[in-house]
Chain A
Amino acid sequence: MVAHPGNARAVRTAGRLNEPRPARVEANFDGTPWQVNHQPVVVIREEWRVLDRWWTEDPVVRRYFELVLETGENTVVFHDGAGGGWFTQRGA
């Protein structure tokens, strides 16, 4: 965002890289995903949890899954334990 075209002062807003994006995920009773954005999950390659910032008002509680979908695509999704909902994320 540039403040004024004739002015030599500029304001740039930095964005976050690899922001989580909401995903449509169907999960089994044990919380593992079996479908992501209408694509069936073939393999769960890895699973891990991230608990961070528990000392703040916005703690991060996430359960990550690295998956291979039926299309052959590799993807990482997580379930947000603090706010609820499923997200996909690159760079995880």
Chain B
Amino acid sequence: MFPVIACLSIPSFELKAAIRKRPAVAVRPAALAPEPDEDGRVGPVNAAAEAAGVQPGMRLGEALATCPALVLVEPDPAAAELAWEEIVQSLEDAGFSVEPATAGVAYFETRGVERLYGGLDAALRRALAAVGSGWDGRIGAAARRFTALAAASVARPAQVLVVRDEEASAFLSPLPLTLLPLERQRYEELEALGVRKLGQLAGLPGGAVAERLGPDGRRAWSLARGGTTAAVRGRRPPAELAETLEFPEAIGNELTLRRALGALVDTALARPERRDRFVRKVALSARLVGGGSWRRALTLREPSAEADRIRVALAPKLADLPAPVVELRLELVELTEPAGRQLELLAAGAEDRTRLREGLRQVRASTGSGSVCTVVEVAPWSRIPETRALFVPRDD
């Protein structure tokens, strides 16, 4: 048996994640609305939109002229990231070591679990079942990474397509160049030269391709010939520690958001699951008023468990928020072991804090979860008393 690299592909993943909670939109022609830096071109489209003639990357005006009923869906990167994390975790729970490439594409090896599931096909079927049927996932498997990706790209929904190494070049040959990670301009250049299929590109001399198209072209040429056999590097699962704060109404004021962030940092750091570990990477995401989302990740220069340090690092990101926020979420994405930083032997006021914490724990034990809250002053200048402060439940 040849060593197998499997590739899971979920086409239009960002769109599917954005409309997952809006089933009414899923049956109508829909496309992801253009991002500001995408030159007014629509993102991924669903099957109904494709059937109506809309292509991903089409200019917005052209797409709407082609299909006036097209629904433009606001990108929801936080929902996409969360959904993708769930999928990768499902695969990991099934025993696969997963290397996520982009949202909607992941590589994994089957060698370790083939005997467990009763062969290659059964293992790949198990992986497909772990992903779930709602995503229209498909899996390609081959000895080389790019061939696996190409197989997954041409497979039908819920299909497993295995390409043996000896069949790889015949399999790749008739496939379109669009499978290659090239800039639009390069495709056009190759098409102008009459090169439209992977087989045609693979048939050219490598030196000539590099001379004409540069390093990107040379890499594309190498992929067209099957690509490398680089092994899959399974990721280290991220720490699963997140705190979310829902607001009673949309908040657009930066100072208010900074205070809410402060409360989130305090609560997240006090969670027992952190077990005195330091925070290396954090992510801040928000659900925006009107349905979209926003997310920024940050790796701290030095791992820390100090609330002030994390707050100061994250607070400037709040200025990037494009719209008022209805939910703010802090994730401690990566934690490290509590070695490498010398702490104070006994912090000032530590005894008082311990007694206070113990007292609150007793109150909570007698009155139930959510009974102890922190008051966070959010708009003390407001003339409307109920908008001046929020109370945030804490269970630490």
Complex contact A14–B247 (CB within 8 A): yes
Complex contact B385–A12 (CB within 8 A): no
Q: A2-B369, A14-B391 are in contact. Are A60 and B384 (CB under 8 A)?
A: yes
A71 interface residue (CB < 8 Å to B): no
Complex contact A15–B384 (CB within 8 A): no
Residue of A nearest to B251 (CB): A14
CA distance A53 to B370 in the complex (A): 32
Given A10-B395, A16-B386, A50-B384, output 13 extra A-B contacts at Cβ < 8 Å. Answer: A1-B370, A1-B393, A2-B395, A8-B241, A8-B242, A9-B240, A9-B241, A12-B394, A17-B389, A17-B390, A18-B385, A89-B385, A91-B388
12 residue pairs of the A-B complex, CB under 8 angstroms, read A10-B243, A12-B392, A14-B247, A14-B248, A14-B260, A14-B392, A17-B388, A17-B390, A60-B384, A89-B385, A89-B386, A91-B386
Q: CB within 8 Å of B: which of A1-50?
A: 1-2, 7-20, 50
Q: A12-B243, A12-B267, A12-B393 are in contact. Are A50 and B370 (CB under 8 A)?
A: no
Within the complex, the shortest CB–CB distance from B34 to chain A, in Å, comes to 29
A16 partner, pick from B248, B273, B370, B394, beta carbons under 8 A: B248
CA distance A8 to B241 in the complex (A): 5
Residues of B within 8 A of A1 (CB): 370, 393
B376 interface residue (CB < 8 Å to A): yes
Complex contact B244–A11 (CB within 8 A): yes
Complex contact B246–A17 (CB within 8 A): no
Complex contact A20–B246 (CB within 8 A): no
Residues of A within 8 A of B369 (CB): 2
Within the complex, the shortest CB–CB distance from A22 to chain B, in Å, comes to 14
Within the complex, the shortest CB–CB distance from A62 to chain B, in Å, comes to 8
CA distance A7 to B273 in the complex (A): 10
Q: Give A contacts to B, CB under 8 Å.
A: 1-2, 7-20, 50, 52-53, 60, 89-92
B271 interface residue (CB < 8 Å to A): yes
Q: Give B contacts to A, CB under 8 Å.
A: 240-248, 260, 267, 271, 273, 369-370, 373, 375-376, 383-395
Complex contact A12–B384 (CB within 8 A): no
Q: A13-B246, A14-B247 are in contact. Are A8 and B271 (CB under 8 A)?
A: yes
Residue of A nearest to B268 (CB): A10
Complex contact B376–A14 (CB within 8 A): yes
Complex contact A52–B240 (CB within 8 A): no
Residue of B nearest to A76 (CB): B385
Residues of A within 8 A of B384 (CB): 50, 52-53, 60
CA distance A50 to B241 in the complex (A): 42
Residues of B within 8 A of A52 (CB): 383-384
CA distance A60 to B245 in the complex (A): 26
Complex contact B245–A12 (CB within 8 A): yes
Residues of A within 8 A of B383 (CB): 50, 52
Residues of A within 8 A of B390 (CB): 14-17
Residue of A nearest to B389 (CB): A17
Residue of B nearest to A3 (CB): B244
Residues of A within 8 A of B391 (CB): 14-17
CA distance A7 to B242 in the complex (A): 10
Complex contact A14–B385 (CB within 8 A): no
Nearest 7 CB-CB pairings of A with B? A14-B390, A17-B389, A11-B244, A9-B242, A91-B385, A16-B386, A13-B246
Residue of B nearest to A1 (CB): B370
